[in-house]
Each structure stands twice: as C-alpha cells, then as structure tokens.
Amino acid sequence: MDKELPASVWPEWKIIEKIGEGSFGRVYKAERTEQGRPFYSAIKIITIPGNPDELNSIREEISGDDSVREYFQNLVDECIQEVSTMECFRGNSHIVSVEDYKVVEYLDEIGWDIYIRMEYLISFTEYCAGKAITQNEVLKLGCDLAKALHYCRQLNIIHRDIKPENIFVSYFGDFKLGDFGIARELERSMSNMSKKGTYSYMAPEMYRGEPYDRRVDIYSLGIVLYKLMNDGRLPFLSREKQLITYRDKENALAKRMSGEELIPPVHADQAFSTIILKACAYRPEERYQTPEEFYYAMDDLLHGRMETDSEKKPKEKPVVESERSKPVKKHSKLLDKIKSGPDEVKRRPALWSVLAAGIALAACIITILYVRSMLEENLPLRKSNQVVSILEENDTHTAQVDDFSTAIETIKQQASEIVSELPDCQEVGKKGERLRYYDQNNKLVKTLIYPEMSDDGVYEEYYYWDERLFFAYIWTDSKQELYYYDRRGKLIRWIDADGIVHDKETDSTEYNKRGEKYWKNSLEQFDE
C-alpha cells in the first residue's frame, strides 16, 4: 500500500489508493466497512497553495502576509463554489454527486486542504482503455451529457471545461459530467467572464476573450464527440503521424480558432458527422442553440428516428425537461442565499452542513408534495407513485460490495425520474387490470398490474430504463416487497415482506427464484 496516502477527515472512511491526479488536486478511493462489507467513495483533496514555490512566488508579488492570505483565500472560495454548485445537482443521473466536504486550514502557515467526498465512478479514460468505442456508445455519451447541460441551463450554470477527463461512467453505464471547478453562474453581464478552460476543447469566442454564453458547452461537447469518432485526434491533427508535437497542436488550434472549416470525423457516418459539425460550428448562432435541441438530434439518430427537414415538427415538450426539475426551481432562492456567502461557508462549516441538510430535506418534502398533488385519488395509483419515498424508507440496510452503493443510488435516481414524469406519460390499459406508461419517445417506462391480473393476487409494478427492468415493487395494503436489478437482469437486492434485506444472496434458491420470476413477468409486459 502507498505509504504516502493521506489520512481521511472522515473517521469512518479510510483512503486506500490514489486513483488520479491533476493540476489542482488528487483523487483517492476510500472505503468504509459496515457489517463486514465494504462501501466505496472517491475523495478529492485540493491543496491551496499547491506547493511552497507557489506561496513564495505570490509573496514576491504581493507584500504582507495578510494580502497573501487574502489572495489564497479567494482561491479557497472558488473551490467552495465548486462544491456548492455540485450540491445543486445531487441526485441527477448525469452529473457527479457530491456527498460531503470539509475545509482544513493550516495553523502554522498559509494553506488549506479541501476534502470533497463524491460518488465512486469509473473515469471515462479508464472506461475507454483497451477497447474500441462504437458510434452508438458515443451517441449515448452525447445524449447523457446533453441532459447534464440541460440541467445546468435550468440553474443558469455554464460548465466551461467539458473534456474527456471530466467525464465519468456509472455502474449502469450512464455517462456523467463532473468537475465544476471553473463553472460559474451565468451573469447578466458577460463582459467580466474570464477565459478559463482547456484550449483543446474551448469555443472560439471564449478563446478570444469575447462575451459568451452556454453555447460554449455545446461546442466543447461537440469537440469531444469529434475526437472520439476520429481515432482520438482533434480537428486538423494528422491521423498518419504517430507522434503529435506541440507545434502540431498549436497549428491545429490556430486553424480551428481562425474559423477554418472542419472536415468530418473519419468514423462517424454522414448523419452523425452533420450533428457533430453543427455542434462545433465556428459561429455560436450556427450551433445547436440549446442542449435540448442537441439532445434530440442525437437521440433521433440513436433510435432510428432521423427525419428530413420537411418532415420535422416542433417537439411540444422536451423529454429531458422532466417535471423533476420543478422542486429544484421552488427552492432555488434558498440555494442562492446560501451560495451567495462563501465566506460564511468557510468560517462556519457546521452551519453550512445544517443548511445543506435543510435544503435536502426541503427538496424531499417539496418533491413528495409535488408527486402527491399529481396522483389520482384511488389507492393503487396513490401508493404506487410513492415508490421513491418507499425506497428511502426501506434503505436502512446498506450492505454493499464494490460499486454496489452506486448501483443502488442509481436505481433510486432512475425511479425518481420516472415517478416525476408519469403525469406526462401516455397511459395505456384499464384500471383494475393493467396500466402501461409510455414516455414521449414511446418507450415503456412503467407497468402496473392489479391483483385481479396477478397470479399472486398482489399489485405488481415494474420500472424500466431504456426498456430494461431495474426495479420491481410488489405490494398489497398490508405488505410490500422491493426488488433491485442490475443492467444484466440479475437481482442485486431483495427486501422481503418482513423488511429483511437480502443483498446478492445468489447461493439462496428462494432469492434466485424470486428474482427470475419478476424479471420474466416484466418482460411479458412488452407483449400486447
């Protein structure tokens, strides 16, 4: 084990290995054990100033320790802004979730360590290692990140540094956007916005120091997709040369920033090339204007729904713009108040924790009230749509192995999204027998089977993600059972009628029998 591993500021979490390092921080894998089974998280540690040379350099430019301290204090505040930004996204399926953070100030010198604990995910670079990525995988990545940008847009946030290093992959194969370290809330006046980010993926207007808006994120995502479909080479870099020099990169960047027309990426078909090149258009007005527009173009291609220009009709309501965003909007003012005072966060971390907990509680209450307000008055629909609350109530047992924790949290997030979208789904079937719910892409997202149609005389509810079962809720007025499935259709958690939790008990005949039974029942719901 690495002898240089730092101590964790959370006693229950032990840092076990380094998994990444960048210009502004190190990332470690951390483990805690409960009931003999491990949990995992990622802990990012940012040290300010980064090293003694950095501190001495500022001391040479700024006289007085108070001024030097103030300079670095501003950097600490920027990192706290990252945390507060990412906490707004907690629970989002396509943005990395922050679990907790702590700031430790040095006593004997000017310096701080900022600890940020996040969900443990696979880095995109690790995901790509040793494998060829298909066009459909790249399209899936583009769709997932467009959804992330849609949510950023709702909160008036520009990421400003979309690149492969800031992309992660969940247990269920969903792509997530992370590292909002240079993201800022979109100001009404763009004149003061700074030139930050990574030049290789930066939009021209941002590179030139001109005013810009959220379309810079669309451009950066387009460049990421271009590279993935072009043998890992950015625009204007030779695919023939094995070694790309610094001068090659500078020349390629100069061509792109001067507005030279990009050639299509070599491995993208014509339709996907058209989408990518539009996202990477030199002039912002020629790009996709919103993440939703970008999403639809990719999603239509991914699912074989490409239309000619004459056939295209405006979408009435974006699928990515789910009603799940409404609770966020309702408490956004409270978030703004908290985020407006980074100094208070810095000086009173305990108060910040209380406020953050209050936000989470308020969000839960608002979400529950909103869902309840949309429910029908009959018992089956009222109980069935409380599934998100039921998930939380029954999560007292947390036995986990590997990335099991991430899998469970993903299931909860997906269930939350589906429940919030049900009022806008097309309902097919008859109450008292069977109801199917289809989203705006005509995908089956939920089936409710009434006791009269159930072999066991119970309510059976099946929740689908990409038309694949991930959660089954089996219940009567007096009891309930919960079944969690991975993407391969394997049961990973069963909570029985007595509330006893069975996690990955694959050596149990009853566990396997029940898992197979409801998986099979869920597949039968696709047959008319």
Which of the listed ranges 154-158, 500-504, 510-514 does the model predict with the highest average pLDDT? 510-514
Question: Structural domain of residue 255, as residue ranges?
Answer: 122-321
Tell me, yes or no, whether 420 lies in a domain.
Answer: yes
pLDDT at 311 over 60: no
At 421 the pLDDT is 82
**Alpha-carbon gap, residue 245 to 507, rounded angstroms:** 55
Tell me, yes or no, whether 110 lies in a domain.
Answer: yes
At 191 the pLDDT is 40
- CATH number of the domain enclosing 220: 1.10.510.10
Q: What is the amino acid identity at position 174?
A: D
At 2 the pLDDT is 53
Q: Please give the residue that has the higher pLDDT: either 410 or 514.
A: 514
Q: What is the amino acid identity at position 164?
A: P
Q: Same structural domain for residues 304 and 367?
A: no
At 325 the pLDDT is 33
Tell me, yes or no, whether 9 lies in a domain.
Answer: no
pLDDT at 113 over 80: yes
**Alpha-carbon gap, residue 503 to 491, rounded angstroms:** 9
At 197 the pLDDT is 54
Residue-wise pLDDT tens digits, 319-357: 343 333 333 332 333 233 223 333 333 333 333 443 444
Q: Same structural domain for residues 75 and 218?
A: no
**Alpha-carbon gap, residue 375 to 65, rounded angstroms:** 60
Q: Same structural domain for residues 109 and 143?
A: no
- Encoding tokens for residue 370? 């909103």
Beta bridge partners of 105: 112
**DSSP β-ladder status, 491-495 and 480-485:** antiparallel
Tell me, yes or no, whether 190 lies in a domain.
Answer: yes
At 321 the pLDDT is 35
At 527 the pLDDT is 64
Tell me how many degrees the CA angle 504-505-509 measures, rounded to the nearest 5: 135
Mark which of 374, 400, 435 sits at the end of a domain. 374
Element (H, E) at 522: helix 509-524
At 233 the pLDDT is 92
Which of the listed ranges 39-48, 133-142, 308-317 does the model predict with the highest average pLDDT? 133-142
Closest CA to 79 of 113, 126, 123, 105: 113
Q: Same structural domain for residues 189 and 265?
A: yes
Q: Same structural domain for residues 18 and 111?
A: yes
Query: For 507, which DSSP code?
Result: T
Q: Same structural domain for residues 150 and 286?
A: yes
Helix (H, G, I), strand (E, B) or coil at 200: helix
Closest CA to 200 of 145, 268, 248, 264: 248
Mark which of 290, 306, 321 sits at the end of a domain. 321
Q: Same structural domain for residues 407 and 368?
A: no
User: Does the pTM of the predicted model rise above 0.85?
Assistant: no
- Percent of the chain past pLDDT 90, that is, above it, reads 34
Tell me, yes or no, whether 7 lies in a domain.
Answer: no
Least confident segment among 10-14, 181-185, 244-248, 464-468:
181-185
Place of tokens 């239309």: 307
pLDDT at 512 over 50: yes
Q: What is the amino acid identity at position 378?
A: N
Q: Same structural domain for residues 166 and 211?
A: yes
Please state the length of the chain.
528
- CATH number of the domain enclosing 21: 3.30.200.20
Q: Same structural domain for residues 423 and 519?
A: yes
Tell me, yes or no, whether 111 lies in a domain.
Answer: yes
Q: What average pLDDT does this structure show over 58-86?
A: 85
Q: Same structural domain for residues 341 and 420?
A: no
Provide the number of structural domains found in the chain.
4
In whole numbers, what is the pLDDT of the chain averaged over residues?
Answer: 78
pLDDT at 26 over 90: no
Helix (H, G, I), strand (E, B) or coil at 462: strand
Query: For 262, which DSSP code?
Result: P
Q: Please give the residue that has the higher pLDDT: either 308 or 203.
A: 203
Least confident segment among 156-160, 240-244, 353-357:
353-357
Q: What is the amino acid identity at position 484?
A: Y
Tell me, yes or no, whether 299 lies in a domain.
Answer: yes
Dihedral angle over CA of 505, 92, 327, 352, nearest 10: 100
At 30 the pLDDT is 94
Angle between helices 291-302 and 135-154 (to 10 degrees): 160
pLDDT at 166 over 70: yes
Angle between helices 349-374 and 332-339 (to 10 degrees): 170
H helix runs in 97-237, sequence order: 124-128, 135-154, 204-207, 215-228
At 38 the pLDDT is 85
Tell me, yes or no, whether 8 lies in a domain.
Answer: no
How close are the terminal C-alpha atoms of the chain, in Å? Answer: 57
Mark which of 88, 119, 150 sits at the end of a domain. 119
Q: For residue 357, is it left (φ>0), alpha (ψ between -120 and 50) or beta? A: alpha
Q: Same structural domain for residues 142 and 110?
A: no
Q: 471: pLDDT confidence band, cut at 50, 70 and 90?
A: very high
At 78 the pLDDT is 81
Q: Same structural domain for residues 204 and 287?
A: yes
At 64 the pLDDT is 86
pLDDT at 448 over 90: yes
At 277 the pLDDT is 97
Sign (positive/negative) of CA torsion 504, 509, 514, 516?
Answer: positive
Q: Please give the residue that has the higher pLDDT: either 175 or 328.
A: 175
